[in-house]
Structure 1
Amino acid sequence: MTSARVGTLKISVILLCSWILRIWGGRRPRSKRNLLLLCTACVLYGIFIITKVVYFEPQNKNLSPKGLYDAVTRQPSRTYLEQDTIYRGSENPDGGALSSSPSTLKPNVVYITLRSKRSKPANIRGTVKPKKRRKYPTQVLYEHSQGIFQGFKRKDGHNWFAQREEGADEHETRDKGIILLPEPRMESRKQSNIRIYSDSAPPWFSAEDIRAIRFLADTRIHRIKQMPSSDGDLILFENPLQKMTFSIDPNATCQGMCGLIKRPLDMSEVFAFHLDRILGLNRTLPSVIRKFEFAQDGLPCPVILWDSSLSPTDNTTQSSTKLKWGTYQMILKQNCWLNGKVPKPESGCTEIHHHEWSKMALLDFLLQVYTRLDKNCCGFRPRKEDSCVKQGLNLKCDDPGSIDLMHIIQRNHDPRHLVFISNKGYFDRSEDNLDFKLLDGIKEFPESAVSILRSQKLREKLLQSFFLDKVFWESQRGRQGIEKLIDVIERRAKILLTYINAHGIKVISMKD
């Protein structure tokens, strides 16, 4: 600041004080003390004015007032984004400060941080009127569709992309329920829908898991099969060029690698797969989300790996081992096959290992999958839209011991272990209406799973895991939608840990 401007300010302060004294007029201060206080106030006010002018003086003396305004308004605001980016700066030769030029503010590391309490993101573009966006329902996992395969047939009843097999009649092909995709409709992708940017996938996925999810997400579909079942027609897509690692029956439904296409409302199957792998249970089948142009409205659908080694199931209970609730509770007390001991014939044990029930109960409680152990909804207050209410099963809870268990599945070559299928979870059930009947009779839980729930790293692992499945990530509206689902699982995990402590349940190592 020049000496002339400082002098001008001093004169302005003196004139201001003189003006105040003239206002007083004939009223003189009654004492010198009052006069001294008045002068002191004037001096302090002058210092305040001078300080303000010095503070806003531009560093560059040649900067015009318009340039000064631009320099102030273009300063980047400090938002929460700066905490997620580490910048590599360079020192200025003059003062050693970081340079604000684009060349020296390049990000060195960009990563996602997790906070214990997420705050509302800063409004970076506050002056821009936001665009009106379409509102979506909060429960993305439960978007219903009237039928994803209504577009399979034309109005005349013929398959609109059916093609005749070599040496086979068209009607014979249609009777087999096989739909061949012609070459123009065979999918070709420029990039994979499985995003793995590091040298290796997350450690909770095995090499077979990665191979399976890549196949489900990216394989070129050669043909589609429709197979009748108790739940309606099953839709399989097949790639005969890829084979499973284990041998299968030559008369099996799938001769290569196949994927089972489910409805959009079954997206919790994908959530169950990732949660199962992170907890170290490894009992669910690989699953991803994929879009099909032949599906109605192009909605993303869950696709589950078809496992031909699963044992044949009973049509009523869809289980390879038929059990009732009373028998199940008796088996839990027998500790079947624990520590390698062969159970006695009169014990009533099945071929399933004792630890399998603990793993199933743990996953079912976190996801609130009631259809396996509590199909009649006897352990919670069901809603009108629940299947047990529609079928009137909730009125048959007087004799719980006679209720059949559902979806108790094993593999032909591995009868000791269960395979968790039909993992339809419910994320909209409140904490005061959880189904604790799923935990009845369970006296132990796997240490690997409980340690992850206690470590408070479940959220971080789930985010990393879901990021691999690009279509699932986008179908849940990105990270914000994923976080809402994780919030539900974290609250249930805390309740489960409290239940373990309150009931003295053991946490032990459960090796396969």
Structure 2
Amino acid sequence: MGKCGCFPLLKLVKTFRRSRLLKKAVIVASVCALYLVLVAGFSSRNAAGAAGAQEEHPGHTRGPALRKKDPEALPAAAPTRSNVVYITLKAKRLQAAGVGATVRPQLRRRQHAKTQTEPFTRDFLEREVNRTFADAVLPASQSHDVEVERVGTRDSVSSIRIYSQKPPPWLTPADVYAMRFLADAKVLRVGEVARGSLLVFSDGGAAPGRTQRGDAVCQGRCGLLLSSADSAEVLAFHLDRVLLLNRTLPTVCRTVAFARDSCVVQLWDTSPLSPVRLTWSQYQLSLKHSCWLQGHAPVLCSSVHHHEWSRLALFDFLLQIHRRLDPGCCGFRPQPQDECSPSGCVGERDLLLGHLHHRTEAPRQLIFTHNHGDFTRQLHNLDFRLLEGITQLPAAAVAVLRSGRLRERLLQSLFMDQTFWESRGGRAGIDSLIEVLERRAKALLSYMHTHGLTPTPM
């Protein structure tokens, strides 16, 4: 069987070797042509089979083939999670890039390099006001009101961002409305007011009227325009709300066409504000008498309720604002940039306290204005004189400080103001400010424990 099978093959090989060269070439060409015909037939048969299988089972085809045949047959992309940004305390340094992804990274780095050395001082404030507004807003005639081209935000998206169904619970709907109004309303007019600031008349406001003080008002549709050095006012507003004090006016950071840098706008309070005139000795006496605590008010009492001084002392200590309760800079070593009374601590008992106001229709309640906090003062130089005579502190605010959630709440609250967030360098810049407040909060809690201050519902 084996010899019979091999005989034809051997005979063909011997015949091929004995053949002439031309005959060999013809044989090789014939074999190659036969091979090509067989390969082509096999390929066409496989292609036909694949096409039939695709018609019978279209769902089993590969993605690229499907895209070439019928682009509309592609399934819709699966929806991602809702656009929510969660600010937590874990890996806060690494998370800055994640939160900062909502803003322009290059712009944030440039502003961070600029604002790191920007001090919260009164001298810088005055220079910034003169540089920003002297030539751009006020004409040579120094008229009372200046018409300004109608301008608004850079786009239709509000700079007050909320990434959940509700804002943080410490902000009321009125606060959120005021923040959005101040950040997004179009500017119509800018004028001077008696206090030396600039008043912003916004879109939709009524014609300015006059009060007995001579200040222009516009029925809740105006704001005080401040410089970028007043950005501490924005932080003070959010700190006030987080601590549930509710004594400051809504304040935001925004951009306007006639100013080169971002500015701070504070809601213009239409109700008249009256100053509270007290010397240091009168203030200490009012603390001892617990004025209006139970409806009791000796002759030496002012119109302010006793609990208001506790709120003010806690607020001013965290921000180290000395102009109200320590205008002579008697409780710390002042620096050249600190604004102190010319008389200093000489005759401090008769030194008049400053920047204390209340509404005319609510004389028992203080309104915190001029909240220019100092974030450069070190722990060994804190002004504890602000707490002198205080025996009680608001329990709700103390509970926030003791809970360790001050940073978390401030991050959530400040993140709403996108312009302020970017101007302070994003997450890294905001963290540096909150760290200062956290250290001062620990110092305050230690002082409370040492001196026996009592948290009291107010």
> Aligned residue for 2:62?
none
Answering whether residue 213 of structure 2 is matched by residue 261 of structure 1, we say: no
CA–CA distance in structure 2, aligned partners of residues 108 and 200 of structure 1: 14
Amino acid at match of 1:363: F
Give the corresponding residue for 1:221. Answer: 187
Q: TM-score, normalization: structure 1?
A: 0.65
How far has the Cα of 1:119 moved from its partner? 5.6
Structure 1 CA distance for aligned equivalents of residues 264 and 415 of structure 2:
16
Checking the alignment, whether the CA contact within 8 Å between 2:232 and 2:372 is kept in structure 1 is yes
1:278-307 CA-to-partner distances (Å, cap 9, x unmatched) read 101000011001112212xx2111111111
Q: How many Å separate the matches in 2 of 1:283 and 1:490?
A: 21
Matched, 1:471 2:419: yes
* 1:168 aligned residue: none
Change (3 A) 1:344 1:268: same
1:280 aligns with 2:244: yes
Equivalent-residue separation in structure 2 for 1:122 and 1:308 (angstroms): 39
Give the root-mean-square deviation of aligned CA atoms: 3.3
Task: Please name the residue that 2:296 is paired with.
Answer: 342
Deviations 1:108-166 (A, max 9, x none): 89754534675667999xxxxxx9x75435244539473445565769x9839xxxxxx
> Aligned AA for 1:209?
D
Letter in 1 for 2:280: W
Structure-2 change in CA distance of 1:486 and 1:363 (3 Å): same
Report the alpha carbon displacement of residue 442 of structure 1 after superposing the two structures with TM.
0.2
In the alignment, structure 2 segments of 5+ residues that lack a partner are 1-76, 99-105
Shift of 1:413: 0.9
Q: How many residues align?
A: 367
TM-score by length of 2: 0.72
Q: Secondary structure at the match of 2:304?
A: coil
Note if 1:499 corresponds to 2:447: yes
Letter in 1 for 2:399: S
Pair 430,255 (structure 1): closer, same or farther in 2 beyond 3 Å = same
1:70-89 correspondence to structure 2 within 5 Å: none
Q: Percent identity?
A: 39
The Cα of 1:209 is off from its aligned counterpart by 1.0
Ranked by relative contact order (alpha carbons within 8 Å, sequence separation 6 or more), the top structure is 2
Residue in structure 1 matched with residue 26 of structure 2 by the alignment: none
Q: Deviations over 1:221-270 (max 9, x none)?
A: 111111243xxx310011362479xx995975112311101121111111
1:20 aligned residue? none
Which residue number in structure 2 is paired with residue 376 of structure 1? Answer: 328
8 Å CA contact 1:290, 1:471 repeated in 2: yes
| Residue aligning to 1:330 | 285
Structure-2 change in CA distance of 1:325 and 1:259 (3 Å)? same
Query: Secondary structure at 1:502's aligned position in 2?
Result: helix
Counterparts in 2 of 1:331 and 1:150: CA distance versus 1, 3 Å: same
Greater per-residue helix proportion: 2
Task: Give how far 1:311 is off.
Answer: 2.4
1:367 maps to what in 2?
319
Matches within 5 A, 1:47-446: 111-112=85-86, 114-115=88-89, 118=92, 135-140=113-118, 142=120, 144=124, 146-148=127-129, 150=131, 159=139, 175=143, 177-183=144-150, 185=151, 189-229=155-195, 233-239=196-202, 241-242=204-205, 253-256=216-219, 257-295=221-259, 298-312=260-274, 320-339=275-294, 341-345=295-299, 348-388=300-340, 392-393=342-343, 396-446=344-394
| Other structure's SS at 1:181 match | strand
The 1-side partners of 2:138 and 2:363 are apart by 43
- CA separation in 2, counterparts of 1:442 and 1:153? 43
Q: Which residue of 2 aligns with 1:23?
A: none
Match of 2:41 in 1: none
Question: In terms of Rg, which structure is larger?
Answer: 2
Structure 1 residue 384: deviation in Å?
1.4
Q: Closer, same or farther in 2 for the Cα pair 1:469/1:152, shift >3 Å?
A: closer
Change (3 A) 1:192 1:119: closer
Distance 1:180 1:334 in 2: 51
- Amino acid in structure 2 at the alignment position of 1:306: W
